[in-house]
A and B are shown apart, each in its own frame.
Chain A
Amino acid sequence: MSHAPEVQEERPLVSTRAADIAVALLFLVASAVVIADSMRLGFNWRPNEGPAPGYFPFYIAVVMALASAVNLARAVALPPEGEATLTTRPGFMRMMAIFIPAVVYVAATTWIGIYVASAIYIAGFMIFFGRFALWKAAGVSLSIAAIAFMMFEVWFLVPLPKGPLEAAIGY
């Protein structure tokens, strides 16, 4: 890359311990959800039929809950001092730099279609993070969108989400 490497202070944002505890708790929530639905479906062994629809999910969820409980206990037991860092502030910011636009991109796809949204997303990222000139970014992103359009809609006839622009040209 052309620009200088980040020399900012790499301040820790989230500790591995905190993330470990959070993920283990989420696992426990997921187990509870699965167990609740399996109880509704029945998890017994039916005569002449074998296991009921809830049988496998139920026991899987029980095992998952037990394993997560151990993971939770281990994470809690770790000493909070001198703990490992999951991510630093700049690292997190860089991830969000691609992730938040990606969320906006997916949301926009529903309204303006995947091709227009992709072109804007790629161009935006190139301009703001790659420091590319506007005309370069526009050229690259538009040609990628156009190639994708030809490939999916015209040649392989795979319909992707489309918006008003595509409707205007008859797709």
Chain B
Amino acid sequence: MEEISALLGGFAVAITPYNMMLMVVGIVLGVIIGVLPGLGGANGVAILLPLTFSMEPTSAIIMLSSIYWGALFGGAITAILFNIPGEPWSVATTFDGHPMAMRGKADEALVGAFTSSFVGAIFAVILITFLAPMIAKFALRFGPAEFFAVQFLTFASFLGMGRGSPFKTLASMCLGFALASVGLDGVTGTLRLTFGHEELLNGFKFLVAVIGLFGIGEILSSMEEGLSFRGAHAKLKMDAVIRTWRQLPRMTFTFLRSCIVGCWMGITPGGATPASFMGYGLAKRFSKNGRNFGKGELEGVVAPETAAHAAGTSALLPMLTLGIPGSPTAAVLLGGLLIWGLQPGPLMFVEQKEFVWGLIASMYMGNLVGLVLVLTCVPFFAAILRVPFSIIAPVIVVICAIGAYTVNNAMFDVWMMLVFGVMGYLFTKLGYPLPPLVLALVLGDQAESSFRQAMLSSQGDVTVFWSNWLCGGIMTLGLVLAFWPLVQTVLEKWRGGAVATPA
């Protein structure tokens, strides 16, 4: 096959001792960046960009994309250990990752998260290797109506997940939507719900809310239950990798499902954060262990991590072939490509063959090197939990404050983080589920704009969502998922009836 020979050529470009060294440096930096919520992958890439001007473009992009892989790996660490999502796409990882850590299984959760990141990323890279041109064309079919359909599907896959009161779930979700609508309305350029306060111009940012709701909320609950950090007494065993890997084969379907969801969301481009929620939601619904999700189930870590990384990786494809970045980090990488005189776009695979295949080869290598690096560090990460609580607790508050501040460089957000913290504590105690709130917050804005863009182009005609097979198909799938519990009971009744009638 033509691709394989091109890829082998790419490996020849990528695997030089110098490039391998850059890869390791990039990944280590990336992990650090991913761990601290104050530093996003975009920061790291942007800051190192000037340093790479003296390098060959291929070496430079290898180092910069390695930061990206490192940050993808690193986001899970604080999510699992302290319930603070280091990156937006690690929010869903906290749902089961942190309960696992509290049950003394932090090392298994970390190994599970890193391994699934690797699997998701590799799946996406294989897809990029063989199907890039075809997929690029497919992404072009997505207009506002199709975007809304995908966002609707993400939501539908997550609906009806709470065990608690449906009215509390509803209230929590609506609050998320309401918070998402604060600030400038992108479609008409009018200010909503700001009441003349300049601080509110920017709206409530997702990351500020999750740092408060999850990170600060968790600290408050831990304090309430006494001065100890649950899970602190985890015994450190060195066989965590083997122990965890042994459990993974029975999750093959979860892996596969999340890989497909992730690639789909990365290419369309829905983004890594919605992908992680969708992966988690679908796994919860269709896995045999689904009922135990939220209590510390390894599968609940595997599902969102695999999806997030498949999405994060496949998001590089639209960037290379269409020139639209799938994430802020990808946007800065894109800026870097332009400075080196590489023009991402339809001709990139034709004109800069060597560079593109070198990059793809480095994706394989970068993820493999990254996996080895982070797995060797698992005992070290898990050991952080043994630091006395009276040191860890204020340090977590400081890390949260820095993280919240850097989202918009505003002290106002740090205050909001404290408010969200109290909210997170109260909501958890009173049985208001948090996941619908954060999902509404992350998707509300986008879904509303897509819906209204679609309405603008169809002159207010709602049937636009069923105007072609792609959009209509996704919408219908979304409706089926939303009403799945209902469908299930009907199916069971029907089946029961079918058995009963002949008798």
The 0/1 profile, CB within 8 Å of A marked 1, for residues 382-404 of chain B is 00000011110111011001100
Question: Would B394 and A121 count as touching, CB distance under 8 A?
Answer: yes
A37 within 8 A of partner (CB)? yes
Contact of A144 among B171, B216, B398, B427 (CB under 8 A): B398
- 1/0 per residue, CB under 8 A from B, across A86-100: the answer is 110001101101110
Q: Which residues of the other chain, B, contact A87 by a CB distance below 8 angstroms? A: 224, 429
List residues of chain A with CB within 8 A of the CB of B451: 50-51
Which A residue sits closest to B406, measured CB to CB? Answer: A158
**Complex: A140 Cα to B188 Cα, angstroms:** 51
B38 touches A51 (CB 8 A): no
Instruction: Tell me the bound Cα distance from A159 to B185 in angstroms.
Output: 29
Mask of B344-360 contacts with A, CB within 8 angstroms, 1/0 = 00000000000000000
| A48-91 near B? 1/0 per residue, CB < 8 Å | 11111110110011011001101100100000000000110001
Cβ of B170 < 8 Å from any Cβ of A?
A: yes
Task: State whether A61 touches B226 (Cβ < 8 A).
Answer: no
- Contact call B220/A99, Cβ cutoff below 8 A: yes
A49 & B170 in contact (Cβ 8 Å cutoff)? no
Q: How far is the CB of A27 from chain B (nearest CB, A)?
A: 6
Partner of A34, one of B47, B168, B178, B401: B178
A85 CB, min distance to chain B CBs, angstroms: 10
Does any Cβ of A come within 8 Å of B181's Cβ?
Answer: yes
Q: When the two chains form their complex, are residues B460 and A97 in contact, meaning their CB atoms are under 8 A apart? A: no
Query: Across the interface, do A92 and B426 meet the contact criterion of CB distance under 8 Å?
Result: no
A30 at interface, CB cutoff 8 A:
yes
Q: How far is the CA of A106 from the CA of B400 in the complex (A)?
A: 11
Instruction: Decide: A64 and B175 in contact? CB cutoff 8 A.
Output: yes
Decide: A53 and B192 in contact? CB cutoff 8 A: yes
Which of A46, A67, A92 is B171 in contact with, Cβ under 8 Å? A67
The stretch among B7-15, B411-419, B472-480, B493-501 that forms the contact with chain A is B411-419
Q: How far is the CA of A166 from the CA of B389 in the complex (A)?
A: 29
Residues of A with C-beta under 8 A to B225: 91
Cβ of B395 and Cβ of A144 under 8 Å apart? Answer: yes
Contact between B171 and A109, CB atoms less than 8 A apart? no
A157, B402: Cβ atoms closer than 8 Å: no
B174 proximity list for chain A (CB < 8 A): 60-61, 63-64, 67
> 1/0 contact trace for B420-432 toward A, CB 8 Å?
0110011101101
Complex Cα spacing A49 to B459, Å: 6
A51 touches B452 (CB 8 A): yes
Confirm or deny: A171 has a beta carbon within 8 angstroms of a beta carbon on chain B: no
**Residues on the A chain within 8 Å of B490, using CB:** none
- Complex contacts, B452 vs chain A, CB 8 Å: 50-51
On whether the beta carbons of B401 and A70 are closer than 8 Å, the reply is: no
B481 to A: closest C-beta gap in Å: 20
Give B390's nearest chain A residue, CB to CB: A130
Please judge, given known A-B contacts A70-B167, A91-B225, A122-B394, whether A48 and B47 are in contact too, CB under 8 Å: no
When A48-B459, A71-B167, A158-B43 are in contact, do A94 and B226 touch as well, CB less than 8 Å?
A: yes
A161 at the interface (CB under 8 A from B): yes
* Nearest-CB residue, chain B, relative to A145: B398
> With A49-B455, A50-B452 in contact, do A60 and B224 touch (Cβ < 8 Å)?
no
Interface residues on A, range: 35 or more
> Quick check: B456 and A30 within 8 Å, CB to CB?
no
Q: Nearest CB to that of A103 among chain B residues?
A: B418
Verify B429–A50 contact, CB threshold 8 A.
no
- Whether the Cβ atoms of B177 and A56 lie closer than 8 Å is yes
Question: A94-B224, A97-B223, A126-B391 are known contacts. Are A37 and B397 too (CB-CB below 8 A)?
Answer: no
Query: In the assembled complex, which residues on chain A have CB atoms less than 8 Å from the CB atom of B448?
Result: 56
Verify if B165 is at the interface (C-beta below 8 Å from A): yes
CA A49 – CA B401 in complex, angstroms? 41
| Contact code string A22-45 (vs B, CB < 8 Å = 1, else 0) | 010001001101100110010001
With A23-B430, A50-B460, A106-B415 given, is the CB distance from A61 to B192 under 8 Å? no
Collect the chain A residues with CB atoms within 8 Å of residue B39's CB: 151-152, 156, 158
Residues of B whose CB lies within 8 Å of any CB of A are 33, 36, 38-39, 43-44, 47, 165, 167-168, 170-171, 174-175, 177-178, 181, 185, 187-188, 190, 192-193, 195, 216, 219-220, 223-228, 388-391, 393-395, 397-398, 401-402, 405-406, 409, 411, 414-415, 418, 421-422, 425-427, 429-430, 432, 448, 451-452, 454-456, 459-460
Using a CB–CB distance below 8 Å, which chain A residues touch chain B? 1, 3, 5-6, 16, 19-20, 23, 27, 30-31, 33-34, 37-38, 41, 45-54, 56-57, 60-61, 63-64, 67-68, 70-71, 74, 86-87, 91-92, 94-95, 97-99, 101-103, 105-106, 109-110, 114, 118, 121-122, 124-126, 129-132, 140, 144, 148, 151-152, 155-161
Additional 12 contacts, C-beta under 8 A, given A57-B178, A98-B394: A1-B390, A30-B175, A34-B181, A41-B190, A53-B190, A61-B174, A92-B224, A109-B414, A156-B47, A158-B38, A159-B409, A160-B406
Q: Would you give 17 A-B contacts (Cβ < 8 Å), ordered by A?
A: A16-B429, A49-B455, A50-B460, A51-B452, A53-B185, A53-B192, A63-B170, A64-B174, A91-B224, A94-B226, A95-B220, A98-B220, A106-B411, A106-B418, A109-B411, A110-B411, A125-B390
Top 8 A-B pairs ranked by shortest CB distance?
A: A50-B455, A130-B390, A64-B174, A125-B394, A91-B224, A67-B171, A67-B170, A122-B394
